[in-house]
Amino acid sequence: MNPPIQHDPALSALFEAQRAASRKDGVVPWAIRADRLKRLSTLVRDNRSAIAAAINDDFGQRSFHETELLEINHVLDGIGHSLQHGRSWMKTTQRSPGYKYWPGQASILPQPLGVVGVVVPWNYPLELSLGPANSAMVAGNRIMIKLSELTPRFGALLAELVARRFDADELCIVNGGVDAGRAFCGLPFDHLLFTGSTAVGHQVMQAASDNLTPVTLELGGKSPAIFGMQAGPGGDYDKAVMRLMIGKTLNAGQTCIAPDYAFIPRGQLDRFIGAARRAIGQFYPSLATTPDYTSIINNRHFARLQALVDDAVQRGAQAWPLSDAASEPARRRFAPVALSSVAAGSTVLEQEIFGPVLPLVEYDDIEEVIAAINARPRPLALYLFESDRKVIARVLGGTLSGGVTINDVFFHVGPDNLPFGGVGASGMGAYHGETGFRTFTHDKPVFRQPTFSLLSWVYPPYGRRAERL
């Protein structure tokens, strides 16, 4: 049972102001939507270094390049895509009603839902706040964003930047921890998008259900990577391992779509570990000094990762350090490590890892792998490194995950023309591009009846006429 929600009068006042404004909005003309999107884009563009610096301070060290690539550029691309296509997405479309409804006219009028709430985790604070905001904004909604307590410097900066460019009833930022999150999710939003852990996702959905607020849940879980018997684009095995390892070490593995664990064909352990060590050596020639390797967000998560490795080793797993440098707890730099012979039931095979620890599971037959994946909750992402088309087709058809990238990692999340979301325990609903517009829009069916209506023919008294329709 969730404890009762503590209502926050200031938060409720913000919400009421947004709701009152949204109820006067109507369809929201394109010029207003475009103006808001441009202000959002300028906010990011004009403050890229301040944003990267704030996120860096929150992490202790966050690679500036990764913030640019995975957050700033991705958000700007998404807003650009909305500006390019939003006007056509919001057009009324005519539909054929069918001969029984002749000569009436049918159409779909896309309308904003009203006030959208967005709850954000700490791992990509810009991308996961302004990405959903972009989708809700192109759809003409008012937006409230609740940021994570683990990114306080970014939270303070974004609140200030938003307040300078937006009225509070257009877009506003709420900072705070679990209590603020619970109060936030208790507001009667017209739609709530939550990105975070599956455990908290349960609570968010419960709170939303009290208000019949529809939810989009972007959750986590254990995303598998599969090395096929013929792994490697063009037979280049090292390249395949390198691509997998970048997925495990970008943001130090603190990525919802990071490959959590990997299946490798039995007998390939030494080959895999050798290639993984070469990849890490190439990415981070000196792990201790490189500015490209991100720190773990806080001491609790650092200790959690160490405990996952210790638990596996105590149960008989072998740990394979992948870099020459050891972890540095004081700076929360966790050295990448692979684990083999991990006993079933080890915590590292049960919980989402969210760090640079890679358990390897050896297999003999691809059917074993498919069965093992299907025995678990549906993953957010699945990665398959394989050249054999039949195996690719078998894995694609035989498993269900939020998304898939073949022979690389992460790429299915990049293009704005693809929906992004989970399935089953990894989430519900999706956004990005036009899918995001639809998520935050009500497609209202409209039927226009002319003077003459064929249906007046079936008014009572019925006799036997209705039977002929």
**Nearer to ligand NAD among residue 182 and residue 277 (C-beta):** 182
Q: Which of 155, 355, 379, 427 binds ligand NAD (CB under 6 A)?
A: 427
- For residue 173, state whether it binds ligand NAD (rule: CB under 6 A): no
316: left (phi over 0), alpha (psi -120 to 50) or beta: left
Question: By CB under 6 A, which span of 55-63, 132-140, 216-224, 262-270 interacts with ligand NAD?
Answer: 216-224
What is the residue type of 469? Answer: L
196 binds ligand NAD (CB under 6 A): yes
What is the token pair recorded at 457? Answer: 């023919």
Q: Of 28-36, 161-169, 217-225, 259-267, which segment contacts ligand NAD by CB under 6 A?
A: 217-225
SS3 419: coil
**Identity of the residue, 130 or 240, whose beta carbon is nearer to ligand NAD in the bound complex:** 130
Nearest to 433 by CA among 74, 119, 38, 56: 74
Does 211 interact with ligand NAD (rule: CB under 6 A)? no
435 touches ligand NAD by CB under 6 A: no
Q: Does 432 bind ligand NAD (CB under 6 A)?
A: no
Residue 122 vs 272, nearer CB to ligand NAD: 122
Q: Cα(164)–Cα(43) distance, rounded to whole angstroms?
A: 9
- Tell whether residue 149 is a contact of ligand NAD (CB under 6 A): yes
**Among the listed residues 81, 182, 243, 438, the single contact to ligand NAD using CB under 6 A:** 182
- As a whole number of angstroms, the distance between CA 444 and CA 90 comes to 12
DSSP string covering 32-87: HHHHHHHHHHHHHHTTHHHHHHHHHHHHS---HHHIIIIIIHHHHHHHHHHHHHHH
Nearest residue to ligand NAD, scored by beta-carbon proximity? 220
Asked if 265 and 227 touch (Cβ cutoff 8 Å), the reply is yes
Site for ligand NAD in 387-416 (CB under 6 A): none
List the one residue from 177, 285, 329, 415 that touches ligand NAD (CB under 6 A): 177
Taking each helix axis from N to C terminus, what angle separates 269-283 and 237-249, rounded to the nearest 10 degrees?
60
Q: Applying CB under 6 A, which part among 69-77, 165-173, 191-199, 440-448 lies near ligand NAD?
A: 191-199
Asked if 129 is part of the footprint of ligand NAD (rule: CB under 6 A), the reply reads no
Q: Which amino acid is at 386?
A: E
Q: How far is the CB of 129 from ligand NAD (least distance, A)?
A: 10
In whole angstroms, give the CA distance from residue 386 to residue 392.
Answer: 7
Report the residue from 169, 218, 260, 434 that binds ligand NAD according to the rule CB under 6 A: 218
Find the binder of ligand NAD among 72, 200, 226, 406 (CB under 6 A): 200
**Type of residue numbered 98:** G
422 counts as binding ligand NAD under rule CB under 6 A: yes
Q: How far apart are the C-alpha atoms of 226 and 240, rounded to whole Å? A: 11
Of 172 and 256, which CB lies nearer to ligand NAD in the complex structure?
A: 256
Angstrom distance (rounded) from CA 192 to CA 107: 27
Q: Which residues inside 24-43 make contact with ligand NAD, applying CB under 6 A? A: none
Q: Are 207 and 242 in contact (CB under 8 A)?
A: no
Site string for ligand NAD, 240-279 (x = CB under 6 A): ----------------x-----------------------
For ligand NAD, the closer CB: 183 or 262: 183
Q: How far is the CB of 151 from ligand NAD (least distance, A)?
A: 9
148 binds ligand NAD (CB under 6 A): yes
How many of the chain's residues bind ligand NAD (CB under 6 A)? Answer: 29
In the numeric block, the tokens 């691309």 are attached to 77
> What is the spatial distance between Cα 77 and Cα 395, in angstroms, rounded to a whole number?
31
Extended beta strands in 230-375, E state: 261-265, 318-321, 337-340, 357-363
Using CB under 6 A as the binding rule, the residues of this chain from 328 to 357 that contact ligand NAD are 352, 354
Catalytic hit among 66, 218, 352, 434: 218
**Please, what is the end-to-end C-alpha distance for the chain in angstroms?**
53
State the CB neighbour count (10 A cutoff) for residue 241. Answer: 26
Of the candidates 345, 332, 393, 342, which has an alpha carbon nearest to the alpha carbon of residue 366?
393
328 is catalytic: no
140 belongs to the binding site for ligand NAD (CB under 6 A):
no
The upper half-sphere exposure of residue 206, i.e. CA atoms within 13 Å in the direction of its Cβ, equals: 13
Which residue number, 36 or 432, has a Cβ lying nearer to ligand NAD?
A: 432
56 contacts: CB under 8 Å, gap ≥ 6:
62, 64, 67
Bridge partners (DSSP) listed for residue 339: 319, 359
Residue selected from 41, 61, 111, 123 as contacting ligand NAD according to rule CB under 6 A: 123
Please report how close the Cβ of residue 176 comes to ligand NAD at its closest, in angstroms: 7
Q: How far is the CB of 194 from ligand NAD (least distance, A)?
A: 7
| Minimal distance, residue 61 CB to ligand NAD, in Å | 19
For residues 40 and 45, give the distance between their C-alpha atoms in angstroms, rounded to a whole number. Answer: 9
The catalytic residue positions are 218
Q: Interface residues with ligand NAD (CB under 6 A)?
A: 119-123, 128, 146, 148-149, 177-178, 181-182, 185, 195-197, 200, 203-204, 218-220, 256, 352, 354, 380, 422, 427
